[in-house]
Structure 1
Amino acid sequence: MAHLRFKALDQLATRPKINVELPSAKISDFFGESVFTIEEMRATLAPAVFKKVSQAIRNGEKIDEVTADAVASAAKSWAITKGATHFTHWFQPLTGGTAEKHDSFFDGTSGIEKFKGSELVQQEPDASSFPSGGIRSTFEARGYTAWDPSSPMFLYGKTLCIPTIFVSYTGETLDTKASLLKAIKVVDKAATKVAQLFDREITKVTASLGIEQEYFLVDEALYMARPDLVMAGRSVFGHAPARGQQLEDHYFGSIPARAYDFMKEFEVEAWKLGIPLRTRHNEVAPSQFEVAPMFEEVNVANDHNQLLMDVMGRVAEKHNLRVLFHEKPFAGVNGSGKHNNWSLITDTGVNLFAPSSSARDNLMFLTFFVTTVKAVHEHADLLRASIATAANDFRLGANEAPPAIMSTFLGSQMSAVLDELESKGNVKIEKGDNMYMKLGIDHIPEIILDNTDRNRTSPFAFTGNKFEFRAVGSSDNCATAMTALNVIVADQLEKLHEEVSQDIEKGTEKRLAIVNVLRRYIKESKTIRFEGDGYSDEWVKEAAKRGLSNHKNMPAAVKAYLTKKSIELFERHGIYNHKEVEARQEIKLESYIKRVQIESRVMGDLAINHIIPTAIAYQSKLIDNANGLKGLGIDNKAVVKTIQEISGHIETIKTNVHNMIEERKRINKMTDAHEKATAYCEDVKEKYFEIIREAVDDLELLVNDEDWPLVKYRELLFLR
């Protein structure tokens, strides 16, 4: 193993530079060239057919067989001219990733390329091996994928990819997209009704999303020399290097040349696929980076994020790199999130979370703003459950991520606005000269301030014209969190509309009826608002006083899915039935169990088969040294002390690995998924992971560097 480490380090020194050039000086020349866009449809379809398709995309209407045949023919011709040989239904099963089954356009019977509307609209992949949470028996294989016209088809390699939903033979959803599409429709309907209280011209409201994707980059050879990174996606051992992120010199620093070349190439591939990437920069931890696109409709934004992660992984391999999306791949430095910046946009071009100079528009803004805060207050536990994963447990509450306590940060100005509205029922949102900050530097122009500062410790923060759900993990499929967020906001908007309508029917003036409901919402949701340091012990105590939940681990958090409140919410809006909610909780628990199992096995394997033999071998060298010193009459106490320390660490590792294995055997006999997941959390992960790690990391400092078998943190994080 030691030889593998040094072989990897030798490879690092000989990596060739990979030059990346843009296909054109202007990104607009090739942006979306691998996408069967609405413009491509307009150019290739008959006007009547195009009208039907565009209406289906806009309104969610079904596409008839004749229209589907026309679209399939046009898509096939477009794809083949670009070199495509196959097509696939690209879907998102409940694994958290994506899936595809490729079929050739070539028809052996006719000897020509064919693609029918029926093949575009529906396929039948084997459903038996995908997680179903008990919805399907393993011997029942049939499942269906169905075309989602609202997300454009795209060419990936030589394959035409068709975004689809995935359902069981009996109709239950087996993916993340179907529920997201339902939630988007529900929030559109509810938000439009409320918006029409202010502007009858508004006929549609679109949920918008911008995703900030954080990730780590490591050399491929170093990655392959760390079995824990390969098997678990994170390093289970590794002593902190002398220098980590404490100098704060990596954040927004000059991008390392090798990472820069990688970024340039994956950006080109993403742009071709219509992914509107805009921002790239170094993140806080060494070898950590971020990429962010422009805002898009939620469904498309999520599809693009799933595709982007795949593109990044493939391009990284070309550059002899590996991308780590795990939320906490390295202890002692920042982990990675996937901040979801969410807003609601009307078809008249108004951002419903942006204050305005118009009194009417400001009341509309406050209505949506306050209702969203109220929704988070009512369903905080469900939001926490939506981002609960085994990997995110390592990140939430650490010093770079929001705590596990769900709260909202509104900023001093908006907090003052709500307090004023609650107490007096009248408020003025000021914008203008008073919102400028003078820098005192003549050649630097004045900078417009946001109407609030930002709080990096808040899991759900208002950031000027949007809400930022910061607690989502970097490896997550955002559809789960976005489904929860959109449906809880839709539910609260519907309640607001009903309450306001009832007051109006009783003779209350509309504006006053709205303000009365908002004042009550502000008062009822105060406990969820927090402006301070979410990392502090004081907040934990304060949150408990307020009655806010603090579910620190995934098994505890996902209980929220099966509360009466959550089930009724999902069923009321047609997102999930009771069976589908149970299935999703079951799948989350099964995933948690498997991931902790894998990490436990990796720890045991590395500790027993690599670390302990290395420590014993080095100990033998020290024993020979100690005996030699004694024979020469030289004091050997220091060497003997080191030998004793190594013996103590070896014993700690052996004892705890043995006990951990025995615990796994006991837990594996359990049949209840929640009981089993909780036991894996409390009796394996929390009881043994840290004590084994501490002993191994202490040995890393004691054993000679040339004998140590694992690539060290200083090598993984700092060697380019």
Structure 2
Amino acid sequence: MAHLRFKALDLANNRSKIKVESQGKISDYFASDVFGLKQMQELLSPDVFKKVKKAIDEGLKIDDDTADAVASAAKSWAISKGATHFTHWFQPLTGSTAEKHDTFFDAHAGIEKFKGTALVQQEPDASSFPNGGIRSTFEARGYTAWDPSSPMFIYGVTLCIPTVFVAYTGEALDNKAPLLKAVEAVDKAATQVCQLFDKKVTRVKASLGCEQEYFVIDKALFASRPDLVMAGRTVFGHNPARGQQLDDHYFGSIPPRIYDFMKDFETSALKLGIPVSTRHNEVAPSQFEVAPVFEDINVATDHNQLLMDVMSKVAERHRLKVLFHEKPFAGLNGSGKHNNWSLITNTGVNLFQPSSSARENLLFLTFLVTTIKAVHDNAELLRASIASAGNDHRLGANEAPPAIMSVFLGSQLNSVLDELEKNGNIKVEKGDNMYMKLGIDKIPPIILDNTDRNRTSPFAFTGNKFEFRAVGSTDNPATPMTILNAIVADQLNDFYSAVQKEMKKGTDKRLAIVGVLRKYIKDSKNVRFEGDGYSEEWVKEAKKRGLANVKDTPRALDAYLSEKSRKLFAKLNILNEIELEARNEIQWENYIMKVQIESRVMGDLVQNHIIPTAVAYQNKLIQNAKGLKEVGVNNKQVVSTIESISKHIEILHTEIENMTEERKRINKIEDTRKKAIAYCDDVKGKYFEKIRYSVDKLELVVDDEDWPLVKYREMLFLR
């Protein structure tokens, strides 16, 4: 296989430049492939447009006549831009998007048609997607239903209609439906709390900005690594002499081929209305990041999923491969998807933005403290929301937050909360400045400049938003955002009830609010941490504080099925019992399959590539040793190398055989959870590192000309 390695290297090093034409000013083509409000206003009658906009703004159902009008306008617009087909674009529980294309052309009528019924609903096969037992193979019916709050767009020659995906029996089979329900819940809960301060607030929107990290390598190098092709990560590979230790890649000059690729995919993304705004090198060699500006959380989620697809397809044109796996290369930083989340009122107020006004700061503190309390009380559920086989390789490593959920605020905000907790019982006389006495008016007006960033915190306040840093790079942000919005909505409801209870006793509204906040600050204090989340000291300290440290996915997923979580989801009408259990079943199965695939890839590479190469090289050395001995030279180093190779070959034979037998035993386990835990502990835990160690040692010993796998140093320094 070594010849394939060198052929791939030759191709990678002699690529011709792909010309990327300038598209001019971004404002001239931004969202040009999107059927948004602007296009609707131009093509729909005023009455119809008014109905559509109201439905989008208020989450109302669109009637049949309006749907017909929208469908007709969307068809005309799409065909004028070269579209020939339409599809309901949805996000099943596979971790990627899905679509089934139908033509506009009606062969019987001889014309292009597109009715409101086709816009509103389609029927893909629900049994062929992961459903956790909700649908049997012979019960295939499922429906995709139009989501008007996320705009239609043209991708290639297809009009894509963002939709939810539900079973014939009504259960959600996708990531979007629960997110929409969670967003609705936080809207209602936040609005009623805001009205304690400002009656003009009638709606609160959750917003999101996703920082997407990724690696890029040459396509030929990718194709020559079976582990990357099959598992998305390198199961073997010794660290190169130079990795990221010089800190010379982060924010450095972008390599020319990558720069052209970035310009190309950004143009495609901008035409689709994805507001990408930032590009840069990340910490590890060949690692990069793209980030958009903030958007409505549902649209931002759709855009992130679409962006990943755009990046992959554009990379093909440049003979590149984008790696979204959380940890494609051992010993180097992995990739996350930092979810920057905030809440915005219809009056334009960011509820996480401190102010120069003490009254507004009480509103800010209300949402800050309530969010901290929500994270504290639901830390294990929040951890479960970012659980995956890929993220397990990253969480707790040197570049990623630990599996312990904690909140970072910065020293100034911590001091404000400590002062509020301490001074909350002070006596307030008539005419006193209550805000001054409580220290609320001392909050710096621009925390954005006064709050440091803590890269080791999984959930950090960064000035006017929270950054959920623990989300994995392949994750659909809908899942963690569903959980975050749900737990905050629930906590806001509890807060509102507690304040109302105090006010009924005759307590002044401001003092009632402060009283509840003081209790929340005290009750949630353990989740606040300002230090190094990577340190062993924090692991010990977190244990003392009673904070969970669930390091693997199979056990982390248990949080979804706790009695507390079940009540939360039922109360907010986000997921019912059947949906919860089905989703856990799907995630456990997904974990099993991923670890199983990785173990099989390991076995294939070791038995068919590594051991034959090592044996062949060992035989060369044996012949050399015999030749040296015949001329009277006793080369101890050659003998030592032969013995070392023999030792590692023996280890690999034994460990691969044992791992194969372990898989056979585990595959007989019927309980999905127990099977996932067994794969975690008895396959991944027992064998992966042992096998990798011996293979990586052989990589250092076997002649470079013979080694079959493209090495890290050859993949990671693409210019």
**TM-score bucket (shorter structure):** over 0.9
Change (3 A) 1:178 1:449: closer
C-alpha distance in 2, partners of 1:4/1:337? 32
Match of 2:439 in 1: 427
Letter in 1 for 2:241: A
| Alpha-carbon distance, 1:341 to partner | 0.3
TM-score, normalising length: structure 2: 0.97
Q: Describe the superposition over 1:376-402 as per-residue Cα deviations: whole angstroms up to 9, x where unpaired.
A: 001000000000000000000000000
Three-state SS of the structure 2 residue aligned to 1:15 is: coil
| Alpha-carbon distance, 1:710 to partner | 0.1
Three-state SS of the structure 1 residue aligned to 2:325 is: coil
Indicate whether 1:306 and 2:332 are aligned. no
Indicate whether 1:578 and 2:577 are aligned. yes
Match of 2:8 in 1: 8
Indicate whether 1:55 and 2:54 are aligned. yes
Match of 2:364 in 1: 365
| Alpha-carbon distance, 1:618 to partner | 0.2
Indicate whether 1:717 and 2:716 are aligned. yes
Q: Describe the superposition over 1:494-523 as per-residue Cα deviations: whole angstroms up to 9, x where unpaired.
A: 000011011111100000000000000000
C-alpha distance in 2, partners of 1:427/1:65? 56
Match of 2:382 in 1: 383
C-alpha distance in 2, partners of 1:14/1:533? 44
Q: Describe the superposition over 1:301-343 as per-residue Cα deviations: whole angstroms up to 9, x where unpaired.
A: 0000000000000000000000000000000110000000000
Matches within 5 A, 1:79-98: 79-98=78-97
Letter in 2 for 1:707: D
Three-state SS of the structure 2 residue aligned to 1:487 is: helix
| Alpha-carbon distance, 1:718 to partner | 1.1
Three-state SS of the structure 2 residue aligned to 1:705 is: coil
Indicate whether 1:195 and 2:194 are aligned. yes
C-alpha distance in 1, partners of 2:630/2:47? 98
Match of 2:607 in 1: 608
| Alpha-carbon distance, 1:13 to partner | 2.2
Query: Contact 1:68–1:118 (CA<8 Å) still a contact in 2?
Result: yes
Letter in 2 for 1:428: I
Query: Contact 2:448–2:462 (CA<8 Å) still a contact in 1?
Result: no
C-alpha distance in 1, partners of 2:31/2:718? 35
Letter in 1 for 2:405: M
C-alpha distance in 2, partners of 1:23/1:453? 38
Letter in 2 for 1:593: I
Query: Contact 1:209–1:297 (CA<8 Å) still a contact in 2?
Result: yes
| Alpha-carbon distance, 1:428 to partner | 3.1
Matches within 5 A, 1:9-158: 9-24=9-24, 26-158=25-157
Three-state SS of the structure 2 residue aligned to 1:144 is: strand
| Alpha-carbon distance, 1:358 to partner | 1.2
Match of 1:443 in 2: none
Indicate whether 1:179 and 2:191 are aligned. no
Match of 1:441 in 2: none
Query: Contact 2:89–2:163 (CA<8 Å) still a contact in 1?
Result: yes
C-alpha distance in 2, partners of 1:12/1:212? 28
C-alpha distance in 2, partners of 1:431/1:411? 12
C-alpha distance in 2, partners of 1:51/1:274? 22
Indicate whether 1:218 and 2:217 are aligned. yes
Displaced runs of 4 or more, over 6 A: none
Query: Contact 2:356–2:444 (CA<8 Å) still a contact in 1?
Result: no
Matches within 5 A, 1:273-422: 273-422=272-421
Letter in 2 for 1:15: R
C-alpha distance in 2, partners of 1:482/1:590? 22
Change (3 A) 1:146 1:432: closer
| Alpha-carbon distance, 1:431 to partner | 6.3
Letter in 1 for 2:599: S
TM-score, normalising length: structure 1: 0.97
Three-state SS of the structure 1 residue aligned to 2:559 is: helix
Letter in 2 for 1:72: A
Query: Contact 1:417–1:429 (CA<8 Å) still a contact in 2?
Result: no
| Alpha-carbon distance, 1:22 to partner | 2.4
Change (3 A) 1:307 1:205: same
Q: Describe the superposition over 1:264-315 as per-residue Cα deviations: whole angstroms up to 9, x where unpaired.
A: 0000000000000000000000000000000001000000000000000000
C-alpha distance in 1, partners of 2:635/2:22? 64
Match of 1:483 in 2: 482
Three-state SS of the structure 1 residue aligned to 2:214 is: strand
Identity of aligned residues (%): 72
C-alpha distance in 1, partners of 2:585/2:543? 28
C-alpha distance in 2, partners of 1:449/1:369? 14
Q: Give unpaired runs (5+ residues) of structure 2.
A: 425-437
With 184-193 and 135-144 compared, the bigger mean Cα shift is at 135-144
Query: Contact 1:418–1:522 (CA<8 Å) still a contact in 2?
Result: yes
C-alpha distance in 2, partners of 1:408/1:202? 28
C-alpha distance in 1, partners of 2:153/2:624? 66
Q: Describe the superposition over 1:353-379 as per-residue Cα deviations: whole angstroms up to 9, x where unpaired.
A: 000011211000000000000000010
C-alpha distance in 1, partners of 2:22/2:423? 58
C-alpha distance in 2, partners of 1:22/1:118? 40
C-alpha distance in 2, partners of 1:427/1:449? 19
Q: Describe the superposition over 1:135-163 as per-residue Cα deviations: whole angstroms up to 9, x where unpaired.
A: 11122110000000000000000000000
Query: Contact 1:614–1:707 (CA<8 Å) still a contact in 2?
Result: yes
Query: Contact 1:334–1:399 (CA<8 Å) still a contact in 2?
Result: yes
Three-state SS of the structure 1 residue aligned to 2:579 is: helix
C-alpha distance in 1, partners of 2:272/2:597? 35
| Alpha-carbon distance, 1:429 to partner | 4.4
C-alpha distance in 1, partners of 2:441/2:239? 48
Letter in 2 for 1:218: I
| Alpha-carbon distance, 1:432 to partner | 6.7
Query: Contact 1:355–1:429 (CA<8 Å) still a contact in 2?
Result: no
Q: Give unpaired runs (5+ residues) of structure 1.
A: 436-447
